[in-house]
Structure 1
Amino acid sequence: MKLFISLSLVSLLAPLAVLAQSTDGLQSTSCVSSSSSSDSTDLYKTKSEVKYAKLFSIEYHNNYKVVNNLSTKDKYVLYQCGSDKPSINDASAFIPIPVSKAATWATTAAIFVEALGVQNDIQNLGTAPSVVSSCLQKLLQDVIEPFNEGNSTQTDQQEQNNTVVFNMPGGEDDNTSNTVYSVEYLESSALGRSEWVKFFAAFFNAEERANKLFENIDSNYQCFLNKADKEYNDIRPVVAWTSYAAPTEYNNNTAYWQISFADYKYDLVRDAGARMLNTTGKQSTMFSSSQAFLDALEEADILIDESFVSYSYNDLLKNYGISDKTSATYSWLEAGRVYRPDRLQSTAGGLDWFEAPVAFADALLQDLISVAHPKFSKEGYSPIWFRNLAKNETVTTVTAAGCADMYAQRQDPAGTCSSIDFQSANPSDSVYSGVDANETQDLIYDISKSEVINDDDSASHTHGGSDSSSSPSGSLSIRDGTTIIGAAVMALSLVAAAAL
């Protein structure tokens, strides 16, 4: 249903709207009046160069840009409004810029738009209950119209009323002529994922803002990396990223357990001064029994659970098949180092884990350092996204009330690394109980004799999902020859993520 804003509300929002229309950091904000003159004039003096991201590229011409999604092989031609549409035969879409009417099905894309400070151009937003950003929630209350996901006719009309609709491959209603795919969640590095801010900036002529933001993220990330390497090279705990899937119609009513080894997680763990628990699988390994799964976790010091359920520490123990934690011999269990990246949630249970950490790699690294080395900062630090289940830490619900200015450019939540006084690790500290000192190499667990279902990372991705690769065929292959249809897995993941 369309939102109507009262005159009193318009008056209230007027000062904010003026602020939102600031052109600082934007270029070519007006349409050209003469196509012929624009052909010979470089309208985009500020350009973005891709440094880490592997899945997109940008080519600049005088009055248009070509943005390539190298994963989906899509080519988006962005031409300055008022100029003639370029003659490019293999374009996936022609988008006049700067975009002033945008929609997004993926909440991660909305965070990038907010980070650029052009969220006033968003007209429609999908999976609205999952949005954790307080200012996007405020916009959804007062300005942005959620996609009517229960009415395909109205949804189609909403999409047609926009210049561009950001979506992910396989996402809901992704076949419109103005659909633009983003796959930042498939990047192999955390910085590569965050660099997609430049991809989105190209649509709004916001390259200057994107370049400045990413330069700060990059330099801050490198500072955290260097400090962690200096202080923790001799005491690197082993981190395992795990999950549990309950029996459903999408997995033949058979539970499975999983260890993930996505590329970007590998980089994060090493950069945080820790070691990755790797398996002989390519990206993740799925186990058909909890005991085989637990056997693979014997050498882990820290567990990060990403199951698509919201539960307590006791629920995790039950799902992992641990009936008596006092008799268990797992380091991560004895030390109580069991985490979930679900500290920040929307009222409906949407996780910020799928939103802000993708855009702000430096803040994500800072958080992971605090998981690996809880006393890293002499000033003290409370993680943004990770909560310790063993300590019964609670979640924080984010609401629109926390938004001071819904049109302000989203700020990087990371601390300034150069001003943080890092504390050296003390191997005798109880937090490192069971951690092997002077071990710097990743730990390889041989799964050849385990009860393994498969060793392919084919987990579906939901608005910036957690792993970095997927099955090319869109299906989940099981070693015994059984196949789970990819569409069903995607549908399950979308529903689960929205319900979290």
Structure 2
Amino acid sequence: MKKLLYIVLSTSVFFITSCKRKTTEPTVNNIKSTLVKYAKGFEIKKSKDIITLIVKNPYQNANKPISYTFSKTNKSQVKIPVQKLVATSTTHIPMLELLGEESKLVGFPHTKYVSSKNTRQLIDQGKIVEIGQEAELNTEVLFDLQPNVVLAFSMQKTNKSLSLIEKNGIPVILNGDWLEETPLGRAEWIKVFGILFDKEKEADSIFSIIESNYLDAKNIALKAIDEPSILSGAVMQKDIWNLPAGDSFVAKYLKDANTNYLWKNTTGKGSLSLSFESVLDKGQQADIWIAPGYFNTKEQLLQSNELYKQFDAFKNDKIYTPNLKTGATGGVIYYELGPTRPDLVLKDIIKIAHPDLLKEYEMTFFEKMK
């Protein structure tokens, strides 16, 4: 299994009642910390047979961390390895599959958005049950499944569905990977999955390969002579154009791909909300337009606003989107697999910006808009 995972990754080269939930870090003698290199949202500490996971950012604007404890022997902790899991985000699927643990997934909300062929097969076979939407989980179905753990994410401190699950004695672990600020920080959350399935060494090895692939790709990009200028985003509502802020993880991709993102000097780790006119003024002559919102074709862009045709990237057919590559039921592969495989995302962007550096590489997520 380890050999197979290595081949797959390297050739790509490109809550909690029974969980003993706490809002402060536990004080334990002889604690040993697991190395976390990029992720800012979690820590892992060990003492004897107990593993403590500290989620620093369990939800947006959280002011206290949450701690979860795991053990193979101590019944007062979450018992590992987990045998039955409910997950709530498609970004959890690739991490389960890389560890070879997708068969432990018994419930998932809105299964139609799952793109992976392996997990889709389990859904089609009835081995993974539909449990509603994330914000409105069907708790009756979930309780019938009796999972050992529910791996969830929450936009805010209170969540009625998750609170009800906790009250019924099922541990809920809040996964904050989506709040990470760097591509490798997001991918490093596979180490948390390693804890759940008692596969910490495997998780560390997988992440090391992804990290190595990413850094190798970054070094390849440094060989480029030119830095093409980049435009991103589009108008999502009214006249407001949303695009990545200068400190966002998307801007980090564009920097590591050795491009000139036109809004790289702005502050903020999320999105910027700008007027159409200001973006047109600054980005009209941009060489490349990456990820133009939810639009899939140039015709859709023009139907929304004919002024889009004034951009040079539109005129020169230099618009690229990740929306066109989908799974069998319509889920966008980029949103599912991208956070776990930042090395492939970076190589896609390098291929777009510096095609001569990766002549034989075929893009995994992005495709030229027609």
What TM-score does the superposition give when structure 2 sets the normalisation length? 0.80
Aligned residue type for 1:287: L
Q: 1:163 to 1:306 in 2, by over 3 A?
A: farther
8 Å CA contact 2:296, 2:323 repeated in 1: no
Match of 1:120 in 2: 103
8 Å CA contact 1:258, 1:293 repeated in 2: no
Residue 100 of structure 1: how far off its partner (Å):
0.6
Instruction: Give unpaired runs (5+ residues) of structure 2.
Output: 2-29, 59-64
User: Within 5 Å, which residues of 2 pair with 1:213-362?
Assistant: 213-229=206-222, 231-232=223-224, 234-246=225-237, 254-261=238-245, 263-278=248-263, 280=266, 282=268, 283-288=270-275, 290-307=276-293, 309-322=294-307, 325=309, 328=310, 330-362=311-343
Higher alpha-carbon Rg = 1
1:211 aligns with 2:199: no
- Residue by residue, what CA displacement relative to the aligned partner does 1:128-161 show, whole Å, maximum 9, x if unpaired? 10011111100111122221458835244246x1
8 Å CA contact 2:68, 2:173 repeated in 1: yes
Query: Structure 1 runs of 4+ off > 6 angstroms?
Result: none
- Residue by residue, what CA displacement relative to the aligned partner does 1:97-154 show, whole Å, maximum 9, x if unpaired? 1101101011111221111111111111122100111111001111222214588352
2:364 to 381, 384, 392: 384
1:99 aligns with 2:92: no
8 Å CA contact 2:34, 2:43 repeated in 1: no
Aligned residue type for 1:385: F
For residues 139 and 86 of structure 2, the distance between their equivalents in structure 1, rounded to whole angstroms, comes to: 16
For residues 137 and 209 of structure 2, the distance between their equivalents in structure 1, rounded to whole angstroms, comes to: 42
For residues 371 and 74 of structure 1, the distance between their equivalents in structure 2, rounded to whole angstroms, comes to: 41
Q: 1:321 to 1:280 in 2, by over 3 A?
A: farther
Aligned residue type for 1:285: L
1:60 to 37, 46, 50: 46
1:365 aligns with 2:335: no
**Identity within the alignment, %:** 24
8 Å CA contact 1:258, 1:286 repeated in 2: yes
8 Å CA contact 2:54, 2:67 repeated in 1: yes
1:145 to 117, 126, 129: 129
SS at match of 2:323: coil
Match of 1:195 in 2: 188
SS at match of 2:331: coil
8 Å CA contact 1:147, 1:158 repeated in 2: no
Residue 371 of structure 1: how far off its partner (Å):
1.4
For residues 120 and 269 of structure 1, the distance between their equivalents in structure 2, rounded to whole angstroms, comes to: 36
- Residue by residue, what CA displacement relative to the aligned partner does 1:258-301 show, whole Å, maximum 9, x if unpaired? 1212521222112112122216452432134x333322322422
User: Within 5 Å, which residues of 2 pair with 1:325-474?
Assistant: 325=309, 328=310, 330-378=311-359, 380-389=360-369, 392=370
8 Å CA contact 2:221, 2:354 repeated in 1: no
Residue 310 of structure 1: how far off its partner (Å):
4.8
8 Å CA contact 1:168, 1:183 repeated in 2: yes
For residues 117 and 210 of structure 1, the distance between their equivalents in structure 2, rounded to whole angstroms, comes to: 11
1:154 aligns with 2:146: no
Match of 2:10 in 1: none
1:130 aligns with 2:113: yes
8 Å CA contact 2:255, 2:261 repeated in 1: yes
Q: 1:216 to 1:340 in 2, by over 3 A?
A: same
What TM-score does the superposition give when structure 1 sets the normalisation length? 0.60
Match of 2:74 in 1: 83
Aligned residue type for 2:182: S
What RMSD, in angstroms, separates the aligned Cα atoms of the two structures? 2.6
What is the number of residues matched between the two proteins? 323
8 Å CA contact 1:48, 1:211 repeated in 2: no
8 Å CA contact 1:370, 1:383 repeated in 2: yes
For residues 149 and 137 of structure 2, the distance between their equivalents in structure 1, rounded to whole angstroms, comes to: 20
8 Å CA contact 1:306, 1:341 repeated in 2: no
SS at match of 2:235: strand
For residues 211 and 285 of structure 1, the distance between their equivalents in structure 2, rounded to whole angstroms, comes to: 35
Aligned residue type for 1:224: A
Match of 2:21 in 1: none
Instruction: Give unpaired runs (5+ residues) of structure 1.
Output: 1-18, 20-41, 86-93, 247-253, 393-500
For residues 265 and 384 of structure 1, the distance between their equivalents in structure 2, rounded to whole angstroms, comes to: 17
Aligned residue type for 2:67: K
Q: 1:156 to 1:125 in 2, by over 3 A?
A: closer
For residues 71 and 288 of structure 2, the distance between their equivalents in structure 1, rounded to whole angstroms, comes to: 49
